[in-house]
Amino acid sequence: MDYETGWKGFAEFREVREKYDFFTICRTPKLATLITLQPIERYRDLFDAAIIFSDILVIPQALGLEVEMLPGKGPHFPNPLEVPQDIDTRLRKHVNVYEELGYVFEAITMTRKALDGRVPLIGFIGGPWTLMAYMIEGGGSNNLSKAKKWLFSYPEESKRLLQKITDICIEFLIGQIKAGAQMIQVFESWGGELSPYDFNIFSLPYITQIVDKVKSQLKQEDIEPVPMTIFSKGSWYALESLSNIGYDTVSLDWTIDPAYAKAITKGRVTLQGNMDPTVLYGSHEEIRSTVRRMLENFGTSEKYIVNLGHGILPTVDPENVKVFLETVHKVGNQRIDMNGQSHNTGYTSFALLVHLTIIFQHLHTLFITPSTSIPSSRLTSFTQLVYVTTTCFHIATLLANLFKKSQVEKALVLYGTWVIWSGWAMCLWLIKPESRPDSLISRPLTISSMQGYYYNYYVNRNGSVMLYDLEYLIEPMDVAPFLTHGKWKSTTLPILSFILLLAMRRNHWGLITWEHLTVLDSVKSWSYRTWCIAGSAAGWILFWEAIKFWFHVPFNYTGSVDDGITLYHTDLSRFPNLFDILWGSIISGIFMICWWSFWTFQYRGVVWKKELKEGVVVWFDGFVQVGGVC
C-alpha cells in the first residue's frame, strides 16, 4: 500500500513527510506508528481498523533492489530487472526477513500497544505478480509491456522469480502476524492486467500458496490464525477462484457488481469494498447517495466489510472522507467490525412509542373490554387470537431494542416474526370446519337473501344449504372500517398504528432476518429461483385466503339452490390443538419466508439481477421505500 498517494492530502502526513524521506518513515518504527495512528485520531470512532504504515515494495528492497519514492511520480527502480540472469546476479539468494524487514515487525508491535485495543491492526504485502511487474517495469506502467514480455519470452524463469518472491511473502506475513497483525491483506494490484488464462498460471498458484502455507505454518506453531484478505484489482473473471482458495475475505474494486459478486461467491467468503474512490471528489450528497446504494446492494450481512474499491486519491478533500465514514455509520443498520461483532443502531423514539401504544391498547382490549376480554383465561375467538399474537410481536420488538447484544436481538427478531405470521396462519387455516349447532342456523338460504349481506354459509348433512350471520357468532376484525358497515371498532386504532409503524420504520428487522436467509445463495440458480417463485405463489394464496376470510367472500359459489352449490365455511367454535398450532406455524413460516425471499432476492438482483432504484419493496412484515427509508 502506498501512503504517499493515499494520505498526501492530509496536513499531518505532509508535516512528517516534509522532514523525512518516505522509506525512512517506513524504516523508523516510531514514525510508522505515528502515521498509522493519524487517520484513527483524525476520524475518531469512525474507522473500524488501522493498517500499518508501510509499502508493498519493501520486499524488492529486501531482495537487494533499490527503490525510491519520487514526489509526484510514485515508486521508481533506478536499475530494474532486465534479463533472467539478473535473478541470480542481482537478487539476494537468501533473505532473512527478520533482519531485512524487522523494522516492519517492530512498527506493528509498537502500533498494537499504542492502539490499546481501540481497533484491530491490519498488515499487508503485495502479490507476487504485482511485485514482479514493479521489479521489471521499474515503476508504474500503463500496459506492463516489459513484465508481460518476460512471461511469454521467459516463462520458466518468470515462474522461478514468482516463486522466490512468494517464499519471502510467506515468511514476511508470518512475521507480521507474530508481531501483532490481526488481519492480513494481499494486494495483487496488477492482477487485472493478465488474461483469465494467464492469471491462472502466473498469479493464482502463488497467491494460493501464500494463504495455504501461512495458515499451515501458524497451525504447526500453534499460533491463532487471523483473517486473510485477497485483493486482485480488475480480476472480476477470477472471482469464483479467489473465493475458493482459502482466503477469508475477497476485496472488490468498483467494476464488480455486488449482486454478481454475491451470486458467484455464494457466501463462502466475506466481501469487502467497493466504492469508486473518485466518488470522494463529488458533493456530500453524492457521497451519501453512493454509500446508501452500496449498502443496499451488499446488505448488512456479517460477511461484508465496507471499504473503497482502491486507495484514497491524493487530492481528495479530507472532509469528504469524513462524510463517507459518517454516512456508513449512519445508514448502515448493522456495522460489522473486524471481529464480526454487530453494532445495533436501534429504533427511533417515535417507533418505540408506537409499539408501546399498541401493546397497552391490546392488553386493555384483552383484559378489560367486555366484548373481547379473555374469559376464564381461554381464547375463544378470532379477534382474541390476533390480539395475543400481535401483542407478543410488539413486546419482542421492544425487548430487541433494549438488548444491545446482537445474538439476543436476532433471537427476538426471529421469534417476533414467527409469532406474528404463525398467529395469522392459525386464524386463517387451523380453525377446523365442524358441525354447526342448530341454534346458530338463522334461516334457509335463498338467492335473494344473499344479496348485499356479509354472511357465511353452512351445508347441512341432508344437503340443504343454510346460512348464519357471522356477527352473531363472533365480533368481526375491523381491518378496514369502511368495509364493515362504517363502524369504528376497538381494533381500528392499533391496526392503523401498525400500518403507520411499517410505513416509517427502518427496515431493521427485515435486514436481520435476511442474514438467516442468505444460505439460499449457496443453492444453484434454477433451484432457488423455483423455490422463490413457489414461495411467492404460496404467499399470494395465503393473502387471498386472508382477504376472503376478513371480508366474508363466499367460497366456490356456483349455480343456484336448485342446481346445488358447494360452500365452505370456517368454524371458530373450536380452538386448534397443539399439533395444529405447531404444524401451522411451520407451514406458515416457510410460506412467509419464501414469499419474502422472492421479493428480496429480486430486489437485490440475485435472481433476475434487477435493480430497483426507486419504488417499493415488499418485506416479510411491512414495506420500505427503496432509497427513501433506510
For 559-617, give the secondary structure using H, E and C.
CCCCCCCCCCCCCCCCCCCHHHHHHHHHHHHHHHHHHHHHHHHHHHCCCCCCCCCCCEE
Q: Which residue has the higher pLDDT, 45 or 202?
A: 202
Average pLDDT over residues 579-601: 50
Phi-psi region of 459 (alpha: psi -120 to 50; beta: other; left: phi over 0): beta
Q: Quote the CA–CA distance of 76 and 184 in Å, as a whole number.
A: 26
Confidence of residue 33 (pLDDT cuts 50, 70, 90): very high
What percent of the residues of the chain are helix, what percent strand, and what percent coil, each to the nearest 5? Answer: 55, 10, 35
Nine-digit cell string for 245: 482458495
Contact between residue 571 and residue 549 where contact means Cβ atoms under 8 Å apart:
no
Confidence of residue 301 (pLDDT cuts 50, 70, 90): low
Give pLDDT, residue 421: 57
CA distances from 615 to 300, 603, 618, 621 (A): 20, 10, 10, 17
> Angle between the 155-179 and 128-137 helix axes, to the nearest 10 degrees?
120
Cα angle 343-347-349, degrees, rounded to a multiple of 5: 140
194-198, 331-335, 573-577: the lowest-pLDDT one: 573-577
Give pLDDT, residue 332: 62
Question: What is the residue-averaged pLDDT of the chain?
Answer: 70
Q: Is the pLDDT of residue 605 over 90?
A: no
Q: Which residue has the higher pLDDT, 410 or 449?
A: 410
Q: Which residues contact 207 (CB under 8 A, 6 or more apart)?
A: 127, 128, 186, 188, 230, 232, 245
Confidence of residue 480 (pLDDT cuts 50, 70, 90): very low
CA 597 to chain centre: 14
Q: Is the pLDDT of residue 4 over 90?
A: no
Q: Quote the CA–CA distance of 417 and 508 in Å, as a whole number.
A: 12
pLDDT in tens, 107-150: 999 999 999 888 999 999 999 999 999 999 999 888 899 999 99
The set of long-range contacts for 415-419, using a CB threshold of 8 Å and a minimum separation of 24, is 416/392, 416/509, 417/393, 417/509, 417/513, 417/592, 417/620, 417/621, 418/585, 418/589, 419/389, 419/392, 419/393
CA distances from 446 to 168, 442, 467, 571 (A): 92, 12, 9, 22
Give pLDDT, residue 386: 65
Q: Quote the CA–CA distance of 30 and 250 in Å, as a whole number.
A: 31
For the chain, counts of helices (H) and of strands (E): 26, 16
Let me know if domain 3-228 sits in CATH 3.20.20.210: yes
Residues of the chain with pLDDT > 90, as a percent, come to 38
Average pLDDT over residues 560-589: 44
Give pLDDT, residue 331: 72
Contact between residue 27 and residue 77 where contact means Cβ atoms under 8 Å apart:
no
Q: Is the pLDDT of residue 573 over 60?
A: no
87-101, 197-211, 484-498, 560-574: the lowest-pLDDT one: 560-574
Phi-psi region of 116 (alpha: psi -120 to 50; beta: other; left: phi over 0): left
CA 250 to chain centre: 15
72-76, 129-133, 497-501, 582-586: the lowest-pLDDT one: 497-501
The set of long-range contacts for 39-42, using a CB threshold of 8 Å and a minimum separation of 24, is 39/7, 39/10, 40/115, 40/118, 40/119, 42/10, 42/12, 42/318
Question: Closest Cα to residue 467, out of 440, 491, 488?
Answer: 440
Q: Is the pLDDT of residue 236 over 80?
A: yes
Give pLDDT, residue 399: 78
Give pLDDT, residue 269: 93
Confidence of residue 32 (pLDDT cuts 50, 70, 90): very high
β-strand 334-336 against 121-126: which pairing, if any? unpaired
Cα angle 167-170-172, degrees, rounded to a multiple of 5: 110
Q: Which residues contact 39 (CB under 8 A, 6 or more apart)?
A: 7, 10, 47, 50
88-102, 113-127, 175-189, 589-603: the lowest-pLDDT one: 589-603
DSSP 8-class letter at 477? P
Confidence of residue 295 (pLDDT cuts 50, 70, 90): confident
Nine-digit cell string for 116: 490499546
CA distances from 503 to 77, 97, 382, 604 (A): 60, 59, 26, 20
Q: Quote the CA–CA distance of 490 and 477 in Å, as a whole number.
A: 9
Q: Quote the CA–CA distance of 320 and 343 in Å, as a whole number.
A: 24
235-249, 523-537, 554-568: the lowest-pLDDT one: 554-568
Domain boundaries, the chain: 3-228, 252-343, 349-625
Contact between residue 22 and residue 4 where contact means Cβ atoms under 8 Å apart:
yes
Average pLDDT over residues 144-173: 96
For residue 552, with 0-12 CB atoms within 10 Å meaning exposed, 13-18 middle and 19 or more buried, which class applies? middle
